[in-house]
Structure 1
């Protein structure tokens, strides 16, 4: 593409521009962009950061992006003098306009745009526990790009389309009995078939750099990098993205020279990353009973080069464990103090901040950035009629792919010919 090269975080060797992994080791690939200074482009939403996204153009019908503002309500409650909130969701009064109400809306557009620019016509395969699925389904509706969406059966009720998405003919939904890991495994088997392409998960630089725009937008608002960054994570990819964006901002030279300390949070007792850091193992019943099952991923990129462990080590970061009760209390506190509903995963991040303030890990004068990864869904649903996506197929755990592929191809034939 000319504007960046891909390098492996492990061996540092340059890789092909469309690769999802290194040929030499398991290291994550990272985009090394030609432009080293953060210079917003004259585009809306995430596209203002086009210089640091692995695409050359935009999707005109998508204009959403993160917003950041200095907190008064929650800051006053916690006694913090410089608390900033990155809000990713639906909050018209604040200018927040992510159509499916979570920061997964930052990942789907550059991922689909990258496929389109590569001339691909293969069906994109995405596995999701809910939020990611909504974001990619919306992008498929906007562009016509064909999508197979694989979700655990418990996540089907979370699949809805925002107002205006009236043609889901480019989407084929597979509901699998089991949890998110089972959905991932089935998605990988489908994506290995001819005519299909994997979305890539944490290994997809378009997803990570799309999420990284949260840090970019926030630093533009704050004028400097934060001292501390709080986010709830499932795979930990959002934490990696914040770390990578921070390194680019340090390279710019205008926003500080010290990496923000990453404070990641997971939902106990279903917290694989927390267990990897602190010892122990998730409850065998997981994700049953979780406050938010989107935070449970058995296959997090923890100890790969450039993964979560490296991000925590580089930033002197930590991982907090949050109970359901703590998350519920934090959700009520945030809505009461800031005036907007938030998703359970975001409430887990709020609870981690509350804990860190209480135990003295966060200084009252420090600049703190809290990533609200999803919010305003209740607000949106009260004011709009949303169309739900239904499963095209319901399959048992371990199901073969032949019938799924045949049925998906039959439905998506028109979308594949259109090629977005």
Structure 2
């Protein structure tokens, strides 16, 4: 999801391809030469011994072959059989020519499928540079492929420009699905989503994702340098060291660069030479920084990005995110906070409660607590666990 929201798929894919090609090229060349030579040798061996066997049989029929020649012929036949097996295996066995051809065919099929799916997102209109009437969900439903029931059902919701909205609900309520729809990772199976009245499907999905940023609970651990792992969140903007350092600070990870041996140039991942192993919390802070390095997005989605952090740290960071969001409200920027920890929801302008894919409640923390509905019940149950 991060690769798609940040528009970093092609960059990371090409980088991975270059690294794999560079690493595998000497091995692949040697294996190719060895396989080619082996096939040629086996083919020549089979041809020569086959010719000898034909000659011996013909000589035996004419009474010109000795017993020794016949024995030699039998031994040669076994050698021919072995050579033929090797030749056939080299063509049709595991890792052989046919196996390679099947793999290439599957890769080409996958590439054609990706192109076909990409054509479905054929919007061409540019997204607005400033939200004036906000984002509206009109009877939006979504069902994952193969699922028996919708993940979201007939959701009607208007998010005002500049709003900080907390999305809460039990597991499977549809919170992450809503974020995927808003960022264009998925398209509604029913209904539509509009930005300032324009259907999201009519917008260029690439350009809209350039106006979005996100941090997810299921984040990627890019084993790049620290600078690159953060800057991947805004490749189009080519963030400099000041922007990277600022994003790390906003993600409460400003001390990370100082503690790593080479600062922003430190290689992440213990599997690499001079690489540094990180804890789950440190990786999550880097993912948060990656989601914050893009400056002035129109939509910021924080989908439980602090699950590996303690409740106090999460509350402080969400409070910081809310302040940052309100500071950029003049552009109508919208911030979504998805969390299971209800203590952080009070700072939002509005709370949206999802239940079984439906919007069950919405309002401020005070309003929902006074109503005494599902939100109030879940809030009290969670608060009781801390008492």
Structure 1 or 2: larger strand share?
Answer: 1
TM-score, normalised with respect to structure 2: 0.25
Highest CA radius of gyration, 1 or 2? Answer: 2
TM-score when scaled to structure 1?
A: 0.24
Task: Return the structure number with greater helix share.
Answer: 2
